[in-house]
Chains A and B, each alone.
Chain A
């Protein structure tokens, strides 16, 4: 069970590394938001699943803790794309220019 937790947390960290590189290197507001939204949601869900696997190896009232972490996962999975969509709509209405190939 701990091996599964290590694998899940490491995969989440790798996805978050991709998010960071995309957020620093992409040329446009829309593409930066694309990298930030997807990688952030997926890596958070993976790391929290790894935390559930870590908690379930310890004793005590761990089913309630696992249930609460599942609640956080559910909330992030609904809330993070919604917040991203709201921010993208704000940027679109405020007139952010999409990146073209010849405009550097």
Chain B
């Protein structure tokens, strides 16, 4: 079987090389989503970006399981992470629905949320 040797001297099979490349590309795109989560004008924008990042980290956990050849452990962690991400999104959106204001500076000025 032909293998790809990195500069650090690690021999990678073609599947491992592809999964590593896809994981690095996924991390780069997740950092771009994090830009929207940091500078988003409203609270709901940050919530959407955090939801996207959480969904993609499930995929990243599965990639790590394939690379470490311990997928039967990582797939359970990914399942629990998906459930937790769903509950976080629902709970945070319910909280901001009852709070009824989008700008974080609005309550810092002392105005009461109606």
Name A's B-contacting residues (CB within 8 A). Answer: 2, 6, 9-10, 13, 16-17, 19-20, 23-24, 29, 32-33, 36, 40-41, 44, 47-48, 51, 54-55, 57, 61, 64-65, 68-69, 71-72, 75-76, 79-80, 82-84, 86-87, 89-91, 93-96
Whether the pair B51, A87 counts as a contact (CB closer than 8 A) is yes
B44: contacting residue among A24, A65, A72, A87, CB under 8 A: A87
Flag whether B12 is at the interface (Cβ < 8 A). Answer: no
Majority DSSP secondary structure for residues of A touching B: helix
Majority DSSP secondary structure for residues of B touching A: helix
Q: Per-residue CB proximity of B61-85 to A under 8 Å, as 1/0? A: 0110010000110011011001100
How many angstroms from the CA of A69 to the CA of B72 in the assembled complex? 10
Distance (whole angstroms) from the CB of B21 to the closest CB of chain A? 10
Flag whether B109 is at the interface (Cβ < 8 A). Answer: no
How many angstroms from the CA of A44 to the CA of B85 in the assembled complex? 14
Flag whether B11 is at the interface (Cβ < 8 A). Answer: no
Distance (whole angstroms) from the CB of B49 to the closest CB of chain A? 7
